[in-house]
Chain A
Amino acid sequence: MSGRWDRLNLVALLLACALFAALGLAWWRDRARTFAEPRWDPARFVALAPDSAAAGERWVVAVNLTCPHCQEHLRVLAGRTTARAAPPALAALLVDQPGRPSRLDLGVPLAGGAWWDSAQVWREAWGRRAYGETFRFDARGRLLSSTPAGVVPDSAAVRL
């Protein structure tokens, strides 16, 4: 009986070591990957809501439909920028969304439109993971900054 328990404990230790090594390897490989700098190119995404943005900055929020906090961030951001003289064009980029949503209601007007990242550009090409992250692009689509949820993009210290 004792021998059986000893073997079980040994198996548990070996499994734990294997898990540790596998996860460490996966993490290292993930960290070793190089990703492209985000750049706003509408052709890479599927438009879900019209883009009526004039020339100026575009703020793109990575939104997942099952994530309430990033949608809340989008709404708060909209509320805090509408009073500006030249508000940025706020846009939502639906990420980690396997299928095209049948209907979309994010509860805010989006001058920059709503876009579906059908090709997983956000995750696979840009290497991004945090929902609610806001990308600030200039009129030519170049990245000015990226900031986490809860931060006003052009007022934060976080910059790429």
Chain B
Amino acid sequence: MHRTPTSAPHARAGPLAPAMDGLRAWALAFLAAALWFEVLWRAAPGTLAQSAPPALAAAVGLAAQLAFTAVEASLGVAAWGALGFRVRWSALAPALLTVSTVEAIAVAVASGATGLHEGWSTILAGPRAASGAGADALARAFASFGVLTLLRLALAAHAHAAAARVPWWRAAALVLVFHLASRLLVWWSLDLMQGRSYEPWGHVPPCPDAGTA
């Protein structure tokens, strides 16, 4: 049932072309990982991980990002397989990690490292970039939704489409389902865990516009 391409795309480029493509994909993925580390390292002092050394916080964050990408690629391969398309994990995973650099930029914008005006930061990186982002679990789950998220989803769809050799819109539908499912998981988890988490859930005063006492 698995569909395969009718013609080898590298037939004219020589036998080494697929290997070179793979090498290039992993090299780009390595650069993406380096960018993630840099962004997380710079953002660490302003986050909840401020009690840990920035390099350690960045390393843990990078490991989490790599694991998330690996699982995302694994789920993508399985989903495409269920739809009858054979996709190689080794082709999809580095492409998704490279695409995730857009999210790394969004993290940098949200952390204030870029020095952008708050309005632009919110447009690019979502409400999480605004000071006093919502305390509601639903709002927090979708707080990262901005222009950069849209761009990342579009590029991820492109990566899926290239790996599965399907039209972009079809890949975009799968990517959108994955994204919405992940946001729902975050929403439900935050909602269920609210109060058991020791992170600052609201903002401690001063709150001059909250009234007078």
Chain A residues packing against B (C-beta within 8 Å)? 5-6, 8-10, 12-13, 16, 19-20, 23-24, 26-27, 30-31, 64, 66-69, 72-73, 76-77, 80-81, 84, 95-96, 123, 128-132, 148-152, 154-156
Contact = CB atoms under 8 A, between A and B. Distances in A.
A73 B196 contact: no
Interface string B179-213: 00100110011011011101011111111001111
B35 to A, nearest CB: 26
B17 interface: no
Given A6-B81, A9-B75, A12-B78, A69 B204 contact: yes
Interface string B83-96: 00000010000000
**On chain B, which size bracket covers the interface?**
20 to 34
B63 interface: no
Contacts of A26: 188, 192
Contacts of A13: 74-75, 78-79, 82
Q: Which of B181, B196, B200 has the most A CB atoms < 10 Å from its CB?
A: B200
With most chain B CB atoms within 10 A of its CB, the pick from A9, A16, A67 is: A9
B190 to A, nearest CB: 10
A30 B213 contact: no
Main secondary structure of the interface of A (DSSP, over half): helix
B71 interface: yes
Contacts of A20: 181, 184-185
A68 B48 CA distance: 13
B212 A27 contact: no
A27 B205 contact: no
Given A96-B196, A128-B195, A130-B201, A151 B207 contact: yes
A155 B212 contact: yes
B135 interface: yes
Contact of B201 (A8, A95, A132): A132
B77 interface: yes
Contacts of B81: 6, 9-10
In the complex, the 6 A-B pairs of residues with the closest C-beta atoms, listed nearest first:
A155-B211, A129-B195, A80-B213, A13-B78, A27-B188, A9-B78
Contacts of B89: 5, 9
Given A80-B213, A152-B212, A154-B211, A69 B75 contact: no
B202 A24 contact: no
A5 to B, nearest CB: 7
Contacts of B71: 12, 16
Contacts of B78: 6, 9-10, 12-13
Given A12-B71, A12-B75, A73 B204 contact: yes
B212 A73 contact: no
A34 to B, nearest CB: 16
Interface string B65-77: 0000001001101
A152 B205 CA distance: 9
B74 A69 contact: no
A149 B195 contact: no
Contact of B205 (A9, A19, A64, A76): A76
Contacts of A67: 198
A93 B210 CA distance: 23
Contacts of A151: 202, 207, 210-211
Contacts of A150: 202-205, 207, 210
